[in-house]
Amino acid sequence: MKKIALTLVAVSALGLAACQPTTATNNTAANVTNATDEAMNDLSAAGADAANAANSAADSAANSAGEAADAAANAASSASDAASNASK
């Protein structure tokens, strides 16, 4: 009976010791949390950069289209002026 009681006490002590958080476990958990936070921040920044690049490309395309329309209007005006001058 004494051996069984000592065995139970030893197993209980080991079980309780295993349940206690250790510094290594806490550090690992903190490192994983920090890495996850950094990854989320990187993803957020990448998303913002992509949105800015898309907006910049859209603005550039709109500006180019406006400039092309202006050039076409100027060409039409010049052709009209040339036709008017030729008929005089």
Per-residue pLDDT tens digits for 39-58 = 999 999 999 999 999 999 99
Nearest-angstrom CA–CA distance, 4 and 11: 10
Instruction: Tell the burial category of 11 from Cβ atoms under 10 Å away from its Cβ (0-12, 13-18, 19+).
Output: exposed
Q: Whole-model pTM above 0.75?
A: no
Q: Which helix (H) or strand (E) holds 67?
A: helix 23-86
Segment-wise mean pLDDT, segments of 10 residues, the chain, 88 residues = 77 73 79 90 94 96 95 91 78
Which of the 8 DSSP states describes residue 22? -
